[in-house]
A and B are shown apart, each in its own frame.
Chain A
Amino acid sequence: MAKRIDVSGLTAYYSSHKAIEDISMTVEPRTVTAFIGPSGCGKSTFLRTLNRMHEVTPGGRVEGKVLLDDEDLYGAGIDPVSVRREIGMVFQRPNPFPTMSIFDNVAAGLRLNGSYKKSELADVVEKSLKGANLWNEVKDRLNKPGSGLSGGQQQRLCIARAIAVEPKVLLMDEPCSALDPISTLAIEDLIGELKERFTIVIVTHNMQQAARVSDRTAFFNLAAVGQPGKLIEIDDTERIFSNPSVQATEDYISGRFG
């Protein structure tokens, strides 16, 4: 079910501004890959190119290839809507739909895509909420609005919403940066469980978090403000945090800059 991502020579622009340049990497199925690097180095932009969310931003465009199990996401005739059904996304700030109940939020992906059987809906919602470790907390108030939950619960609701459509890959853009340590722990545990089923890519500013949850870590950096961000290196997380092959990575991880 999980799929591999192969990126080669990817460059992304905001209008004429080049945000990231010439990035190539492979993300293995059923692994957690963490992106670390200073602010503005293009981690989030790169993440958004992986499910074609980058082009939603006015002026956003991409050059290069992103292969999802040998199929180029930017190839001719590829529908970005189908791409996003395969590659789900969780955002930095929890963003449940304010007009919908908890149940409707989780069911939103299926309902809005129109591809579901009514009898299955309740099962999918329960399974997804259980998958996001939220079921026990909300099972008695599924009809209450999703925005009434706490921040950490809302973020897990968003994860449940994302996994309800059974994506192959799950992209997470700093999913814990707005949460307290306990909620963060809950989400990190969840990531550990989810990687059995999905390929996960996570952007984080918290290096301990990258070390805790990820199998592979990619370090991004930019030469100077206004320059495009680049991939410095990607390796097994243990190697990156113990013995990185590039000096800049070690400097960043040990806190000597950034």
Chain B
Amino acid sequence: MSHAAAVTEQRSSTLRGAALPKWSPWAIAAGSVAVAVGIGLAAGLDSKIQWGLIAALLFLVGTYVIAASVEGRRQAKDRIATGLVWTAFLIAVVPLVSLIWTTVARGVKVLDLYFLTHSMGIVADSQPGGGIYHAIIGSIEQVGLATVIAAPIGVLTAIYLVEYGRGGLARSVTFFVDVMTGIPSIVAGLFILSLMLIFDMEPFGFAGSLALAILMMPIVVRSTEEMLKLVSNELREASLALGVPKWRTILKVVLPTSIGGITTGIMLAVARIAGETAPVLLLVFGNRFINNNPFDGAQQSLPLYIYQQYANSAGANAAYDRAWAASLTLIAFVMILNLVARAIARWKAPKTGR
């Protein structure tokens, strides 16, 4: 076998050990999949997940045995570590890809300009037609207002913690931010709902914004804090040594240096709250018609729309299609936000070129 000959030839050098050819991982992977399919068919295993797990296991064992016999144990361990990383990667990516695939495949059916520009109106949940314009408007207004409330408070809190906070107050603020991070969204919703009941108010969009702001604030504080800590003290000292007051140093040196990261953090927080359903369900209630005013009357929002189309339609296909299309819109919305955040981060990043 020419392969064996190559192996013995290479043994002559003390620096160059025997090596498997470059294509061997692919070959082993293909072999293990084939064997796994065989086993699956022979044993009559229905679940494709089982097939995949068997293939992964065979791949790892096969890699180790083959590499250990040709290359030695150290290289075999290296290969098995690489194999584990790849397997973990695939296990993580498969559900993600599958989710996006399913959403796109089912969502595009009714997703068109009409769908995006019309409300449900008098279309019954079981009938085709209608759209999500009212939900998009509601989502944008509620999330936008929540951001307007939470982002400044969050950023200012982080500035206090990093630049000024010493001693007991800073420690307790950090503690409560940690506690807030763990608040379940339904609890934030119930908190605002209890206030609404005290004042005997009907559901309206801004109430949802308040609950979303509660959820968003700790995320903004945390990410901004990390970004501000990354700004090196040398820059602060350079500015202070020029006779620049501390507040101007923060405003003109520290914030511009970290603005990219802070923006990314805020955008990720926005993405996080854009998908919240529970508080919106309690506080915004849902509405079949367009309501542009977040301060008066029930509104709709994308996650809530998805939930209601699913839950209130008694399994009508038209409603399911609308729910999938709304999901796709929501994913696209969050994705666009992320891309915008990345673009801003890159645009604002400290320049290093000559």
Which residues of chain A have a CB within 8 Å of any CB of chain B?
A: 51, 53, 56, 58, 81-86, 88-89, 91, 93, 95-99, 108-109, 111-114, 141, 144-145, 147-148, 158, 161-162, 165
Tell me if A99 and B257 are in contact (CB < 8 A): yes
Given A95-B234, A158-B238, residue A109 in contact with residue B244 (CB < 8 A): yes
Within 8 A of A (CB), among B220-279: 232, 234-245, 248-249, 252-253, 256-257
Please count the residue pairs between chain A and chain B whose beta carbons lie under 8 angstroms apart in the complex: 92
Is B121 part of the binding interface, using a Cβ–Cβ cutoff of 8 Å? Answer: no
Residues of chain A with a CB closer than 8 A to B241's CB: 51, 53, 84, 88-89, 91, 162
Tell me if A98 and B238 are in contact (CB < 8 A): no
Tell me if A147 and B351 are in contact (CB < 8 A): yes
Is B352 part of the binding interface, using a Cβ–Cβ cutoff of 8 Å? Answer: yes
Tell me if A112 and B242 are in contact (CB < 8 A): yes
Residues of chain B with a CB closer than 8 A to A97's CB: 235, 238-239, 253, 257
CB nearest neighbor in A for B166: A58
Is B315 part of the binding interface, using a Cβ–Cβ cutoff of 8 Å? Answer: no
**Which of the listed residues A95, A108, A141, A158 has the most CB atoms from chain B within 10 Å of its own CB?**
A95
How far is A96 from B232 in the complex, measured between Cα atoms in Å?
Answer: 11
Given A98-B350, A144-B354, A147-B351, residue A113 in contact with residue B243 (CB < 8 A): yes
| Smallest beta-carbon distance B254→chain A, Å | 10
Is B353 part of the binding interface, using a Cβ–Cβ cutoff of 8 Å? Answer: yes
Given A109-B244, A112-B239, A165-B243, residue A98 in contact with residue B234 (CB < 8 A): no
| Smallest beta-carbon distance A21→chain B, Å | 24
Tell me if B351 and A98 are in contact (CB < 8 A): yes
Tell me if B244 and A112 are in contact (CB < 8 A): yes
Residues of chain B with a CB closer than 8 A to A147's CB: 350-352
Residues of chain B with a CB closer than 8 A to A56's CB: 236-237, 240
Residues of chain A with a CB closer than 8 A to B237's CB: 53, 56, 89, 91, 95
| Smallest beta-carbon distance A106→chain B, Å | 11
| Smallest beta-carbon distance B299→chain A, Å | 40
Q: Which of A53, A99, A113, A148 contacts B353 (CB 8 A)?
A: A148
How far is A235 from B67 in the complex, measured between Cα atoms in Å?
Answer: 72
How far is A95 from B352 in the complex, measured between Cα atoms in Å?
Answer: 13
5 contacts between A and B (CB under 8 A): A84-B242, A84-B243, A91-B238, A95-B235, A112-B252
Q: Which of B240, B257, B350, B353 contacts A84 (CB 8 A)?
A: B240
Given A58-B166, A147-B352, A148-B354, residue A53 in contact with residue B240 (CB < 8 A): yes
| Smallest beta-carbon distance B247→chain A, Å | 10
CB nearest neighbor in A for B251: A112
| Smallest beta-carbon distance A129→chain B, Å | 16
Q: Which of A58, A96, A99, A145 contacts B256 (CB 8 A)?
A: A99
A91-B234, A145-B351 known, 4 other contacts, Cβ within 8 Å: A85-B243, A97-B238, A98-B351, A99-B350
Tell me if A148 and B352 are in contact (CB < 8 A): yes
Tell me if B244 and A81 are in contact (CB < 8 A): yes
Residues of chain B with a CB closer than 8 A to A95's CB: 232, 234-235, 237-238
Tell me if B351 and A99 are in contact (CB < 8 A): yes
Residues of chain A with a CB closer than 8 A to B249's CB: 112
Q: Which of A96, A144, A148, A162 contacts B242 (CB 8 A)?
A: A162
Residues of chain B with a CB closer than 8 A to A112's CB: 239, 242, 244, 248-249, 252-253
Residues of chain B with a CB closer than 8 A to A98's CB: 235, 257, 350-352
How far is A113 from B239 in the complex, measured between Cα atoms in Å?
Answer: 10
**Which of the listed residues B241, B244, B256 has the most CB atoms from chain A within 10 Å of its own CB?**
B241
Within 8 A of A (CB), among B302-342: none
Residues of chain A with a CB closer than 8 A to B242's CB: 84-85, 88, 108-109, 112-113, 161-162, 165
CB nearest neighbor in A for B248: A112
CB nearest neighbor in A for B253: A97
Residues of chain B with a CB closer than 8 A to A162's CB: 241-242
How far is A158 from B242 in the complex, measured between Cα atoms in Å?
Answer: 10
| Smallest beta-carbon distance A254→chain B, Å | 34
CB nearest neighbor in B for A98: B350
CB nearest neighbor in B for A110: B242
